[in-house]
Amino acid sequence: MPKINRMLLAMCAPTLDWNQDDAVDTKFRLDWLPRSLLGALWLQAVWSVTRPSSFRTCIVCGNPIQISLHRKTGGRRTDTKFCGTNCRSQDLRNRKKQAKERHQHGQTLRAIAKELGTPLSTVQGWLQGSKQSKGSKKR
């Protein structure tokens, strides 16, 4: 641990920060600020073992997602499913495609919505949108 402490002192600086958490009585808190990218990596490593967090995998790509309620760790909310906007968009495209395929095979909209974990009105919108886009291609 002495090496870690030396690296933190060399690459990070203590800072007085405004506490934005309304549940806490004190409005100021002592925190750390990295001086460089390497300092940020050291600080993130220390935070990963000193501040409560957990990991889960992105449901699209399988990359790890850090779950943490502490805003400085870079963690995500506990209900997070995706590592980023690209995977969130890919999941939406996948669900739309699945809904269209299942509808073509005669599955009811209600069953599709339940299976995909999507509101019925959303599935209806997806399928209506596909009919409009098919119709708009014909002139």
pLDDT tens track for 16-38:
887 766 666 677 878 888 999 99
Q: What is the pLDDT of residue 64?
A: 87
Rg (CA), the chain: 23
Closest of 55, 41, 49 to residue 12, by C-alpha: 41
54, 34 contact by CB (below 8 A): no
Q: Supply the pTM of this predicted model.
A: 0.57
Q: Is residue 63's pLDDT more than 60?
A: yes
Q: How confident is the model at residue 95 (pLDDT cuts 50, 70, 90)?
A: very high
Q: What is the pLDDT of residue 136?
A: 46
44 vs 121 pLDDT, higher one: 121
| Contacts of residue 7, Cβ cutoff 8 Å, sequence gap at least 6 | 42
Q: How confident is the model at residue 70 (pLDDT cuts 50, 70, 90)?
A: low
Q: Is residue 115's pLDDT more than 80?
A: yes
Mean pLDDT estimate for the chain: 83
Q: Averaged over 111-115, what is the pLDDT?
A: 94
Strand residues in 19-126 grouped as ranges (E): 28-34, 54-57, 64-67
Closest of 58, 59, 56 to residue 67, by C-alpha: 56
DSSP structural state of residue 22:
T
Highest mean pLDDT among 16-20, 39-43, 111-115: 111-115
